Amino acid sequence: MVSASRPTVIVQARIGSTRFPGKVLAPFGVGSLLGHLIARLAGTVELDDIWVATTEVAADDAVEAAAGRAGARVFRGPTDDVLGRFVGCIHAMPHVPEHVIRICADRPLLCGELVRELVEAYGDTDGPDYFANTYPQKSYPDGLDLELVRTSALLEAAEEAVDPYEREHVTPFIYRRPERYSLAGLACPFGNFSDVRATVDTPEDYAALYALDRSLGDDYDYRDVLNFAAVQPELFP
C-alpha cells in the first residue's frame, strides 16, 4: 500500500464563463456555489489544505473574496493558461505537497466523503502518477469528477506542454502519455452513472441542481446523489 500523503485540494474557479458568467458566485446552499463546495469538502479535508486557483482579472476579486470567506486560501494566476495557474498555485504553498487533487468549482454536489474514498483507494495501488474516478472510463456522474495527481508530473507538464488543450485542461499532458506516466482509476462501486449530469454549465443546470440540493437536505454525500439519480433521474439537468 502507498499513501497520498494528505494531498492538497485545488479548486479551479473564475467568474468568466461563456454560457453562464458568474456561476461560481450564484446563491447555493447557505452561501455561493463556490462556498457551498468548499464547505462540503471541509468535512474531510482541513481548510488549510483547500486552495482556490482563480485569475488575475479584476472580476475575480469577487472569487477571491468568496473563497476567503469560506476559509480557503487563494492563488491568482493566468487567465487562459490554466495549467500554469494550477502549478503557480502549487508553488505558492508553504510546503509543496507530493500529490494534489484537482476539482472544478462548478460541481456543487461533490463531497468530502468522495475525496476520502479516492485517497483511500489510491492507498491500495502501487502509487500511480495519475489516479481518477474518470479513468479509464467514466462511471460516476459528470460533476462528481476527481483527479489525484503526483505533483512532480504536473510540474513536468507545465514545463513541457505546448498543446493549447493541455494547457487549458491541466491533466491531459499526463493521461495522454501512458508510456511515460503510470495511470489508474476508481470505478463507481454502485454501477454506471456516466449518463448523469451534476455539473453547472448553464442557468438551466443551476436551477436543476439548486432544487436537487434543497431536496437532498443537510449533510448528504455522493451516495445520496446516486440514489436520486437511480430513482428520480428527471431531477438532474
List C-alpha distances in Å: 173 to 11, 39, 119.
19, 30, 22
| pLDDT attached to residue 4 | 54
- The pTM of this model reads 0.95
Handedness of CA 209, 9, 66, 85 (dihedral sign): negative
| Ranges in the chain, pLDDT < 70 | 1-5
Pairing of strands 8-12, 73-77: unpaired
pLDDT of residue 218: 86
Q: Which residue has the cell 473564475?
A: 14
Residue 131: CA count within 13 A, CB half-sphere: 25
> What domains are there in the chain, each with its CATH number?
8-195 (3.90.550.10)
CA quadruple 117, 118, 120, 124: dihedral positive or negative? positive
pLDDT for the residue numbered 201: 95
> Are 72 and 50 contacting, i.e. CB atoms less than 8 angstroms apart?
yes
- Cell of residue 117, nine digits: 474514498
pLDDT at residue 97, rounded to an integer: 94
pLDDT at 198: 97
pLDDT of residue 16: 83
Among residues 173, 187, 1, 199, the alpha carbon closest in space to that of 87 is found at 173
My answer on whether omega of the bond before 128 falls inside 30° of 0, hence cis, is no
